[in-house]
Structure 1
Amino acid sequence: MDAPAEPYPYASAEQVDPLVRRVLAHNPSAFTYTGTQSYIVGSGAEVAVIDPGPDEAEHIEALLATIGDARLVAICCTHTHRDHSPAAAPLSARTGAPIIGCAPLTMDDDGPRADAAFDASYRADRVLADGETVVGDGWTLVAVATPGHTSNHICLALPESGVLFTGDHVMGWSTSVVSPPDGDMTDYMASLQKLHDREDRIYFPAHGPAIEKPRQLVRGMIGHRRSREKQILKQIGEGHTRIAQMVPRMYKGVDERLWPAAGRSVLAHLIDLDRRGFVTPVGEEWLPAA
C-alpha cells in the first residue's frame, strides 16, 4: 500500500474512537509507513498510552499535551523494537507512570534487518502475561500474547470498544516482518489463527490505517503465508535449494534492495517447514525431507 499524500498529522491528537486518541510520531520510513502511531486510551481521569514510540521530544510533548490533566496510569508497549518503546522511559520519568506490557528483549539478529533493532534500554515495571489486565477510569486493557514478529510481542484488547491494538503483528499496509532467530514463523502463524478466532470489531495497528474488517484481513494473511510455503516447496522441487536462488524467482518485480529482507522471511518459512517435516537443511541447501 502506498503511503497517503503528505502532510501527515504529526504531533497532534486524532480522536479515532470515543475511548481512543492517536498521535503520530515523526519517524516515517519504508518500514514504519507514515510513522509510529501511539494511542491514548481513556476519556476520563485516568489514561494509558500504548506504544509511546521513539524518544523524540516533539512526540513526547504531543503525548503529554494529549494526556492533559488526566493521570497517566500505564505506559504499555506491544514489543521492544526501537520505533515502539524508547519513549516509555522519558514519559515515565515525566509522569511517574509505570511501564507495563511486553517483556524486555534485547538481542542481535544474524542477518539483514528489515525493521528497527531492539531497544536495549527498555525496562518493564510489570510484564503482562496472556489474559492479564490493566484497568483505568472507564476502560480495561487485556493482554493477548502474539509471538512471531518478535518473541515478546503482545496485542492489547479494549473490550469496552471492541478494539484490538495490534502493534506490528497485523498491519493493513504491509505484512509483518518475521526474521529469525527471534522472529518465528510457527509462532506467527499460530498467533494469526488466535486473532482470527477472536471477535474484535476493529484493529488499531502501530503503523498504517485502522483495519475495519479484521477477520477478513487475517484470513487473507494466513492464506498469503500458505501460498509462500507452496512457492518455496515448488522452488525446492525444481532444484532451487538455496535461499539466494529462491528469492529472485519468488520476488520478481520487488525492489532488489528488499531481497535480503525477503530472504529472512523465506528462512523463517523454511525453519517452520523443517519442524513440520517437509524439508531438511543440508549445509546452505534445503532439500525435500526423506
Structure 2
Amino acid sequence: MCGEWRLLKHIVEAEFGPDAGVNTVLVITPLESKPEALQDSCKWMTKEGARELLSDVKTGDTRIGPYVHAGFVKSELSSNCTTDSTLVSQQCLVTGVPSWSSTLRPFRTTNLVVIQATSGTCGSKRPDYFACGDALLIDPGCCSQVHTELADLVNSLPKKLLVLVTHHHNDHVEGLSVVQRCNPDAVLLTHENTMKRIGKGNWSTSYTAVTGGESICIGDQELQVIFAPGHTDGHMGLLHVNTNALIVGDHCVGHGSAILDNRAGGNMKDYFQTTYKFLEISPHVLIPMHGRINLWPKHMLCGYLKNRKAREASILQSIENGAQTLFDIVSKTYCDVDRKLWIPASFNVRLHVDHLNSQQKLPKVSENCTQLLYVS
C-alpha cells in the first residue's frame, strides 16, 4: 500500500509547562494503492487536505493537531530533521509563544499571542470594525530578562500595531512598556477596570476601552472581543473568527484549574456565566495564556464547571459540618491537595462562600460565625 517512509520533520514543542513537552515526528510516504480503512484510530491525509482543515475550520469537520501545520512550514519536503521550538502565529493557526514571566507556579511562562496580517486586504472601510491594524499582540507579559527578545519582535512587526490585554496581572502586562517604547503609536485595547490597575510605568499614554462585542480587523482576519469576567472584573477574551479559536486569558489554564482574584473583582457567579458563554460560542480551540492549547474545548469547559461545582458542594458540606474559618474550610476541602497550594486555593474558597451566600445556601448560624468565613 505504501512506498518508502521518509522523515519529514521532527518538531519539538515549546516550553509551555508544567509537564514535559510533546515531540512530534512527521513522516511522508507515497501511496502505491488505495489506502485501506483504518477505523477511527488514524487517517491518511494529503498535504492539501491538512492545509484546508487548518485554514478553513468548519463545525463538524475532522480535527487535526497544530503540529501537523508546523510540518508544512517553510521547506515542506525537506528530509532534514529540524526543530521548531516556538509556535509563531501563522495564517491558518492562532497559538501562543510561551514567554518567561513572573506567573504563579506551576507555570513559568505566559503565552504571547501574535497575529499578523497575511494579505493587504483589510476591512478598515467597514464601519462595524472597532479597530484595525496590521498586527496584534495579546498579553505581552514577559519578565525583564526577555525584554530584549520582545523588543526585537515588536520592531519586526508592522507599525500599525494593536495590543490587547486580557487583564491587569503583572505576568500579562510587564512587557507593555517595551511595546510602547519600540512603537509609541501602538494602540492599547483593554477594559476600563483593567486599565485602572495598570501602572503608568507599564503604559503611560491613552488607551481605547473595550467592553465586549467589538470587532477587530487584522488584514483579512477578524476577531471579536468578549467580556469574560470571573477571574477579574475586567477580564476579556478574544475569538479569532477565521479559525474559531478562542483566546481565554486566565479563565482556563493548560494544567489544573484557574485561580480567581478576589482583590480585583473576581466573582464565582461571573466565572460560571463566562464559562457557559464560552460553551455557547462552541470554539474549535481554546488558547489559555498559561500552558498548551486545548483541542477539546467543550470537554475542558465542562470539566471546569464540574470541578467548580464539586468544590462548592464540598465547601458547603464542610461548613454544615462545623467549619468556621477559612483555614477550616480549605483544610477539609483540599485535604488531598499539596499544602503549598492551599493559599491560592483559599482565594477561590472565599469566592465560593460568597456565591453560596448570594444563593442563600449557607446554614443559618450565628453572625459571628458568618463573619469568620469572610475575614479569616
Q: TM-score, normalised by structure 1?
A: 0.84
Find the aligned partners of 1:60 and 1:37 in 2 and give their Cα distance. 17
Q: Does 1:163 align with 2:245?
A: yes
Aligned to 1:31: 105
Aligned to 2:187: 98
Find the aligned partners of 2:267 and 2:256 in 1 and give their Cα distance. 18
Q: Does 1:237 align with 2:325?
A: no
SS in 2 for 1:84: helix
Q: Determine which of 116, 120, 124 is the counterpart of 2:199.
A: 120
Q: Does 1:80 align with 2:159?
A: no
Find the aligned partners of 2:112 and 2:277 in 1 and give their Cα distance. 24
Q: Does 1:283 align with 2:368?
A: yes
Amino acid at match of 1:98: V
Bigger Rg, structure 1 or 2: 2
Q: Percent identity?
A: 22
Aligned to 2:258: 176
Deviations 1:123-142 (A, max 9, x none): 56111121112212111221
Aligned to 1:51: 139
Find the aligned partners of 2:178 and 2:358 in 1 and give their Cα distance. 42
Q: How many residues align?
A: 276
Aligned to 1:9: none
| 5+ long unaligned stretches in structure 1 | 7-11, 108-117
SS in 1 for 2:96: strand
Aligned to 2:224: 142
Find the aligned partners of 2:181 and 2:88 in 1 and give their Cα distance. 26
| 5+ long unaligned stretches in structure 2 | 1-15, 22-84, 121-133
Larger relative strand fraction = 1
Shift of 1:94: 1.0
SS in 1 for 2:318: helix
Contact 1:25–1:59 at 8 Å: present in 2 too?
no
Aligned to 1:113: none
Q: Determine which of 116, 130, 154 is the counterpart of 2:236.
A: 154
Shift of 1:71: 3.5
Aligned-residue CA RMSD in angstroms? 3.1
Aligned to 2:87: 14
Find the aligned partners of 1:189 and 1:60 in 2 and give their Cα distance. 39
Amino acid at match of 1:4: D
Q: TM-score, normalised by structure 2?
A: 0.66
Deviations 1:3-39 (A, max 9, x none): 1348xxxxx7414552535322122654361301101
Shift of 1:216: 1.3
Aligned to 2:114: 40
Q: Determine which of 168, 190, 196 is the counterpart of 2:273.
A: 190
SS in 1 for 2:281: coil
Find the aligned partners of 1:60 and 1:71 in 2 and give their Cα distance. 18
